[in-house]
Amino acid sequence: MCLTSLNDLLEKPFRCYPRDEQLRIAKRGRFTDLADLSQHDKGKNRMFAVSWYQRVKWLSGNTVNRKLYCWNCVLFPSGPSRLWNTIGFDDLRNLSQATKKHEESKEHIYSTVKLRILCKSERQTGGEREELENNVKVRRNREYLERLIDISLALALRDIPFRYEDSEDGAYKTLLNLLRKYDDVVRTKVEQDAQFKGFTKTIQIDLVQSIAHVVRQRIVDEVAVANFFSLMVDDAPGNPKSKQVSVAVRYVKNGRPIERFLGLYEVSYGTRSNEVMAVLERDLERLNFKEKLVSQSYDGAVVRPTELYSLQQAVKRQQNDYCQAQLVHYYAHEFSKLLAQSLQTLQECKLFFSVVTLFCRFFEKVNIGDILRQAPSTWLDSTSKCVKHLKTNYDTVLKVLEFVTTSENFENSVDILYEAVNLTNHMKSFKFVALLTIFEVHFSLVDECFEAIKERFPDTKVYRKEINGLIEKLKKLKTDVEFNKIMNSVPISGTPAMLLDMFTWHVQILDNLIHDIEGRSLDIELIDFFGLVSLESLTAQRSKKNPDNALMASIKESYPKFFDTVKLRTELDLLHSDPSIGGIGEHDVTTPGDVMKFFCDYDIKRLLPELYKLLELVSAMPTIGEPLQGDACALNRIRAYCRKERKEEPRSALAMLSIERDLLTEMQGTSQWYSQVIDYFATLPSTSSIELTYKNTEPVVETAKMEVITEPELTIKTEPDM
């Protein structure tokens, strides 16, 4: 039967319909088609507002007798009162009071309970069986996915390839088949499910992507809690087919600076700033960089040297004025290596440093002689050490190469013999040895400068003084006199034409070095405020001297929104007058980061909130004053991974699992781990053949106790008395 109005239920009560028809009526719901209801009262015409249907969820209208009813009570009438289930209500003047009174009555509560039981029984007799069957299947599928996740992690954390090149066979499939012998969940799924077995390359890739997504989201969530974070972008060698950059962030968590890897991204060779900016925006938007990014660092190979300024300005332009990401020197970057990378735009320099890299790799494979016991493991990480090593041990290196080419020990090692002959030719080439001598001089000056800066950091005045001194020394090397001094120390003679070419390259190299050094030092004065919490400053001010006004002005100018400078000055006064409240002198405190950790350990940060925030800002920047050691340094982990030259897809996701293995291990211990990975995996196109989402289709029935009702306005029209 098809009901046309509420009046049909008044003529034939709900109890008279068969059960299946009752279910259809209940599912169809109340009638709300009565709209033009009015009441003439004391010369005024009250109009019914249809918004009452939204505010009172059980209210229903009968278009035949033009009265209002309770839908629940019409279906399940009870008690002596017949107003809301039989007679109908039309006193618009008292509608608000009447609805409130009715919904608290026993009759209304009873009818609402009966309607809920009816809907619930319909669910149990029909949809619930299907839902339960689906959820049992989903639970089994998710249990199977947990095994696949564990297999993926076992391989990724050990850097074991999942499959052979251009094949789905390999370690992943082997482990899954092995598990199949001992695990009923795996055996049942593989043997009985024809649609989804989880063997394919696509599934393997999507599993890794899902795990990496959850790890990356954890990092995003941690940055969201932090007040500040910094960005570190580096060239990531290891992929022979394309150039890629790594992106990492640094922030403070629980009083300790942390560096996390975000991903590897492919870019073109000779990358321009707009391309790198497009890559960075993918991650930065999720990290609220407009209000939290306080520093940025780039190695010398990310963009061309002439593009570095444009890149850092592009980041700043997208930020708010009160939060600008200053360009700082990342402590993990060897400055001479940065400069060497920036010189790759000069063809002769590019060829020279590629040969230097060949020397490093050769001596890592062929470790003989006292000279080689000193450095091979560090050569790849230190360009200046490698250059100095080759120059100062020139004769010894030649002897080693000649030994390799003549020794019976290597006569069957064709590749090593070929490399030794090639490197010997370079060591006897005037061009290579002359450039080796030039860079040995340049890098010695650069290293000397930065050793002095490290000793006095964060004194930015010393920093600027040393940089200016370095630039003056480099400019002086451009003279004929200084050039001739350098050439006199070259162990091989060159023709006048060779010397003329070398002088031209020498000047070009110096011009590029000076330009890059100046560009990387532009923002140094903007972090003068580091001096407010330097241990040298604190220990020197036991005479209760107030914080330096110029340094206070620096923090106010650089980050005006983040600090209450009045409170900050008061808290700094306390620390300056008695450094022991920061653990200085009485505990193992040697850096501002140690002071911050002391504040956390002793629960002092709430008492000195502005000072703690300043310490967090300083520690969030990856400067040479706050280095992290070993694997705590993100760049160390990234370099170690990239040396393995993994070719398997997905590169960035596999890199995330390997580089952030400690965080991943921590996350595996949480109860939400598998659910988070599987929930994301379920959104990918490759999972259309497997059901991974639980169903919950319980119908919604209005509760007896409604929300407090705000009476809708009634339109009142004044009419003359007749």
Q: Which residues contact 609 (CB under 8 A, 6 or more apart)?
A: 567
pLDDT in tens, 442-459: 999 998 998 888 887 777
**What backbone torsions phi and psi does residue 230 show, to the nearest 5 degrees?**
-120, 155
pLDDT category of residue 269 using cuts at 50, 70 and 90: low
What's the rounded Cα separation, in Å, for the pair 300 and 305? 7
pLDDT in tens, 365-392: 776 554 444 444 455 557 778 888 888 8
**Does the pLDDT value for residue 413 go beyond 90?**
no
| Segments making up each domain of the chain, as ranges | 6-119+705-717, 138-209+662-687, 214-328+630-648, 338-519, 528-620
Listed range (79-88, 536-545, 663-672) with the worst mean pLDDT: 536-545
**Does the pLDDT value for residue 706 go beyond 70?**
no
Burial of 91 per CB tally in 10 Å (0-12, 13-18, 19+): middle
pLDDT in tens, 332-360: 888 888 888 888 888 889 899 889 888 88
pLDDT given at position 703? 40
What's the rounded Cα separation, in Å, for the pair 375 and 363? 9
Q: Which residues of 636-657 are buried (b: 16+ CB within 10 A; e: fewer)?
A: bbbbebbeeebebeebbbbbbb
Ramachandran region, residue 93 (left: φ > 0; alpha: ψ -120 to 50; beta: rest): alpha
**Does the pLDDT value for residue 239 go beyond 70?**
no
Closest by CA position to 242, among listed 225, 222, 259, 265 = 265
**Does the pLDDT value for residue 498 go beyond 90?**
yes
Write the DSSP assignment of 619-677 as a string of letters.
Answer: HHS--TTS---GGGSHHHHHHHHHTT---PSPHHHHHHHHHTHHHHHHHHTSTTHHHHH
Please identify which residue in the block is written with the tokens 């370690």: 171
**Averaged pLDDT for residues 261-286:** 82
State CA 218 to chain mean position distance.
8
Contacts 24+ apart (CB under 8 A), 676-682: 676/214, 676/217, 677/145, 677/149, 677/207, 677/210, 677/211, 677/214, 678/142, 678/145, 678/146, 678/149, 678/210, 680/210, 680/213, 680/214, 681/145, 681/206, 681/207, 681/210
pLDDT in tens, 44-86: 788 888 889 888 999 999 999 999 999 999 999 998 889 999 9
What's the rounded Cα separation, in Å, for the pair 430 and 720? 115
Q: Which residues contact 78 (CB under 8 A, 6 or more apart)?
A: 106, 107, 110, 111
Question: Hey, what are 543's tokens?
Answer: 């005479």
Q: Which residues of 198-231 are buried (b: 16+ CB within 10 A; e: fewer)?
A: bbebebbbbbbbbbbbbbbebbbebbeebebbbb
pLDDT category of residue 717 using cuts at 50, 70 and 90: very low
**Does the pLDDT value for residue 635 go beyond 80?**
yes
Helix (H) or strand (E) holding 273: helix 273-284
Listed range (20-34, 123-137, 568-582) with the worst mean pLDDT: 123-137
3-state helix, strand, coil in the chain (%, to 5): 60, 10, 30
In this structure, the dihedral spanned by the alpha carbons of residues 96, 99, 103 and 105, taken in order and rounded to 10 degrees, is: 110
First to last CA, the chain: 46
Question: Hey, what are 264's tokens?
Answer: 């590897």
Do strands 44-47 and 38-41 pair parallel, antiparallel, or not at all (unpaired)?
antiparallel
Q: Which residues of 395-428 are buried (b: 16+ CB within 10 A; e: fewer)?
A: eebeebbeebbeeeebeeeeebbebbeebbebbe
**Does the pLDDT value for residue 719 go beyond 50?**
no
DSSP count for the chain of H helices, then E strands: 33, 10
What's the rounded Cα separation, in Å, for the pair 438 and 166? 47
Q: Which residues contact 535 (CB under 8 A, 6 or more apart)?
A: 584, 589, 590, 591, 592
**Does the pLDDT value for residue 718 go beyond 60?**
no
Name the more confident of 544 and 215.
215
pLDDT given at position 617? 93
pLDDT category of residue 1 using cuts at 50, 70 and 90: low
What's the rounded Cα separation, in Å, for the pair 631 and 658? 12
Q: What global pTM score does this model have?
A: 0.74
Do strands 38-41 and 59-62 pair parallel, antiparallel, or not at all (unpaired)?
unpaired
Question: Hey, what are 452's tokens?
Answer: 């002095």
Helix (H) or strand (E) holding 252: strand 243-253
Q: Which residues pair with 401 in a beta bridge?
A: none
- Which DSSP state fits 230? E
What's the rounded Cα separation, in Å, for the pair 485 and 477? 10
Q: Which residues pair with 243 in a beta bridge?
A: 267
| Cis, peptide link before residue 650, omega less than 30° from 0 | yes
**What backbone torsions phi and psi does residue 715 show, to the nearest 5 degrees?**
-75, 120
Helix (H) or strand (E) holding 233: strand 229-235
Listed range (55-69, 112-126, 251-265, 286-300) with the worst mean pLDDT: 112-126
How does the average pLDDT of the chain come out, rounded? 84
pLDDT given at position 375? 45
Name the more confident of 262 and 134.
262
pLDDT category of residue 93 using cuts at 50, 70 and 90: confident
Question: Hey, what are 181's tokens?
Answer: 């012998």
CA distances from 41 to 444, 547, 715 (A): 100, 77, 12
Share of the chain above pLDDT 90, in %: 39
CA within 13 Å, CB half, 641: 31
Closest by CA position to 593, among listed 521, 530, 525 = 530
- Which DSSP state fits 89? B
pLDDT given at position 126? 52
Q: Which residues of 9-23 are buried (b: 16+ CB within 10 A; e: fewer)?
A: bbeeebeebeeeebb
Please identify which residue in the block is written with the tokens 């911050």: 596
- Domain covering 214-328+630-648 in this structure, CATH number: 3.30.420
Please identify which residue in the block is written with the tokens 């009083």: 255
